[in-house]
Structure 1
Amino acid sequence: MKSDFKFSNLCGTVYKQGNLVFTPDGNSILSPVGNRLTVFDLVNNKAVTFPYENRKNIDRIALSPNATLLISVDEDGRALLVNYNRQIVLHHFNFKSKVYDLQFSPDGKYFAVTHGKQVQLWKTPGFHREFTPIVLHRVYTGHYDEVTCITWSPDSKYFLTTSKDMSARVYSTNPIEGFVPFTLSGHRDTVIGAWFSKEQDTIYTVSKDGALFEWRHQLINPKAQDSDSEDESAMEVDDGPRRWSAVQRHFFYQDHAKVVCAAYHAASAMMVVGFSNGVFGIWELPSFNNIHTLSISQKKIDSVTINKSGEWLAFGASKLGQLLVWEWQSESYVLKQQGHFYDMNCLSYSSDGQSVVTGGDDGKVKVWNTVSGFCFVTFSEHTSRVTATEFAKNGQVVFSASLDGTVRAFDLVRYRNFRTFTSPTPVQFSTLAVDPSGEVVCAGAQNTFEIYVWSVQTGKLLDILAGHTAPISGLAFSPTAQFLASASWDRSIRTWDVFGRGKSVESFTHLSEVLALAFRPDGKEICGSTLDGQLSFWDVDNALQTNVIDGRRDISGGRKAEDKITAENSTSGKHFNSLCYTADGSCVIGGGNSKYVCIYDIKANILVKKWQISKNLSFDGTLEFLNSKNMTEAGAMDLIDDDDDMSDLEDRQDNALPGTKDLSKRNVRPEIRTKAVRFSPTGRSWAAASTEGLLIYSLDDTLLFDPFDLEIDITPETILETLDEKDYLKALVMAFRLNERQYIQRCYEAVPPSDVRLVARQLPSKYLERLMKFIASYMEDSPHLEFHLIWCTSLLISHGKYLKDHSGEFLTVFRGLQKGVGKLHEDLAKVCNDNTYTLEYLLSQAQKN
């Protein structure tokens, strides 16, 4: 059993807080998800989360213009300098203050950081090892309150700053003779953004109260000149002293909503503004024409950004955990993702391991693609918390149980709820189990202590199994035999003959409350987790206890901010709430109200490995030792809200009804815990539903050995020499290593049709995706129809198993090939039809003659 599982991806959370950043090519967007960072590839439809973690939730990110260096800063001002391409942390740094904005200069030489009332300009570090990689260049002062935004001029010689003192200032990167920093004042609220126009002769500033000012660089008291000397007067005017003056004042009237964020695209002179009521608008400047005004939700938009070409707009809403990418010209969504609004409670893998279904406190059931990391369907029929989800064995049906008293079945082909199972009297369902054949579904009740059995085909209630004297905590069907096992707080696990005449077959008594159970894949063993932190293993056939593992010391860890006792003596979280066997049945994995997930070897009775699911100090329960200086008479310092962002009256007003509580307004920090853990049926990965989201850990199989990297000096000359020697496979691989399209095309066409199948069979898997992408793109321009089809057929026959196992990674390639073959088929059919009509015409004319 391999145990070197490493963090692979984070699903279920697409945006938490902070700013969004497009990559320079505009094809990907970077989004902070807690203390991690996720890159959404909008072209290839894939999301990847970086493996490193910040100390706390990320508050600001910045990417260098050449997309090589990335800086992420958390809430306390602690920063990580990251190599973006290799996803490796190069350096740790502390700015010692909350960072409101961080921007690289367009030439990439400097980056500017807000530091209270000051602005610090730092030199961009290099890639070589240095003792002090980040060197301070200059410090700029002049504002009377905290600086909130920084914007560079296109030539990197100047930058603009905005502040809470309701002003903006213009600074120069280096001292310029005759230049004096200038203050742009006149707004009546916090200035949230300032931008240069494309020609740098105009500045636009936007304030929180919805005012947009246009500033021009004009003369100070220009003298009137005679019409006879227009040329001379023009020269005198150009040489006179100038200042920035407000020439236009525009206002956004959005029903008293405050401006929260704004972005400006200089090339197209387009301004995008996000408001506190969930509305965003697009204005064309300097004419101030409103192009679009659309509503995303009822919550405020926290971040907005525009890609380099100005076609795509990205919006982030932290209250809903929502990320949107919108193409404003076609008025269509490029990306629309949203995680669970509250906690994620349960998860289940599909039979092929390609999909994961999750349920949350918000009543939604979401299905995620494990390869792309995207949610492709959301079911919102439940009206209360979803407590359990299960995939049917065929993978096309999802079942879910909820506290609203219903069990629902969803069809993943038509994306609809086709069955709803209810009980004669209203109950709250806490557990769920589906028969391996998919014909019977069972659910356990929290309040009546009964198990309900329904037929999936008819939707009728078949039986009610009674016998437990406490809430049902777990249900599972045997993978091989036709019986059901149930766990309860009455300190027992019972097996039920659902399909026979008998009711209860056997009862396994424990010394404490049973919280979870799991069947071994062969169905001969049951594992139960109890409240005292033990894992009990039972032989199903002989009803004997075979093994006991004490996991209290392994699962315990972490102290809450208000804990008076140490983590070792704390009783909270010292048990497993979720269990699952590995694919081979040799190990069992468990998680609970703790920051740890443990995996045990059953035969050796030892802990194999323990993973810490998060190191985010913004969560409660991640610290092992508390600092006594953070404890005050009013409680823990971390729980005291000292953020001044709630300074507006509408943010501080409580409009809720008396006696009600809005769960979205958290007054305490969320606690780190694992609600559910599941192993993939393939055995290559496992997933955990945690406070952070859906964490996926997998075996690292992305690195493929390529001997050509080690022993060949690859140049155009050596490629042509290899091709002359008729070593087609080596020449093709060398061309891919050189990555020049003309040589790839030449080597590709040089392969004789009779040798294509042999070359395709010996092609390394590392170059399979690149070759298929090349064929898909070259197929549109090349007339060699049969040659391309021979290549496609040979690659699919030779590498069919590999392509099937990695089908999620090759979806984009398959779409490209299908598009190319479809276009060739249409063109060929059109030519054939034309030739048919031509031949029929010629034959008819010949008969007439």
Structure 2
Amino acid sequence: MLCSLSGQVPIEPVVSLKSGHVFEKRLLLKYLAQNQQRCPVTSEALDAERDLLALQTIKSSSSSVNINATFTPEAGSIPQLLSTFQNEWDAVMLETFTLKQHLEQTRQELSHALYQYDAACRVIARLNAENATLKERVTQLAAGGQEDVDMGDTFGTLGPEILATVEAKQKELAKRRKDFKKKDGPQRAALLSGLQDWKMVSSHTLHDSDKPGVTCVAIDAKHPTIVATGGVDKQVKIFDTDKQQLVGTLTGHNKKLSHVEFHPTVDMVLTTSFDKTVEALDLTGRRIWSANKYKKAANEARCARFHPDGGIFGTAAKSKLVQMWAVNSLSNVVTFEGHEAPVLALAFSENGYHLASGSEDGVLKLWDLRKATSFYELDLNKEEPTLKLGAINAISFDASGSYLAVASARSVQVLAEASKNRWEVVKSLSDHKAAVTGIQFAQNSSFLASTSMDRSLKIYR
């Protein structure tokens, strides 16, 4: 039976009623006095009077009489020295026990610290490896980004749901188009009877000021109050003319936008850019993301337009060609040739079979989609030499197909169909302070929107 403090056979043994440990009474009382009455083994509160039980041994229970009980030793006597040595021994035992406790605690802390150090070394090694891999990839991308990459002829489709919507709308519009010339066209043209009195009603600056300039504009046919603008800042801004606030921003191109266009039947925007790409962007729920990248063209895509029924879209590039693409197969179905300068603008008439194109030299051409030929040509610089119109940056038919807005220089010219082979200027708008880059009639002919390199979007009605 050994003392839990000294590890020696106790002279006056006591046992803790709480823990069952045996102690030398003398050592235990000293320890309790120094450590707030706490058990040295379990650290529980220990009352010396109630929680300790003295153990009776043969030596301590002997009935022999201590003949020296009344003897008082002198200070330098052997009994006094033995008592002093005993006290010192007790102190050493108490200190040794405390040191053992501290040593065990230090060992545990050291073990925990070593585990943490090992884990940290592993994490640092993994992060260094990932960092080296990322640096290598960035180097490869930077090197590859300086070269043209052949994207091939294989690319995605729009999905069965969108194609089904487009086909259904095509059939619906094909039936209605038979009555367009006699009924719908004249009724829509009547909406612009007060065009001569139109003026600017609002002006907005939506794009970044550090890269000034708005390059294109489009109005949603399904939601006529929603206007999209593309800028030099590579972004497309979605603006609500009723709420007079910005409702969305599209990103994805690497260079400035050249054209933006809403699809007439589904929530999709078509954008073209000087990065030589055409993108379709999905606007489902007004949450905007990139839906599909079309084939990378060999020339800078300058503009793109959807046909009113949504079944085809036209693109024009720096190559002076106008190309028609089928939405269901994303294949080139016809190419128009005839411009002598790069084509900058396209517009489909609501009658479904006329296409207008404008070029850098100020020439406006009208095409018959049924015959794939040009049936009318107008050189605006010769027709209006005093205006010095220059390049045709954008064009837009109204809902009747009887009016055509042309953006160039710092003005907007609205032409009306005077006869089958003759168009004339009926309204001129000159509120912009820089070149007008975009023009669009609202589907319901309620207003006209224009954009310019002066960073502004202007609304006329």
TM-score (ref. length: structure 2): 0.50
**Larger RCO, structure (CA 8 Å, separation 6 or more):** 2
Which structure features the higher share of strand residues? 1
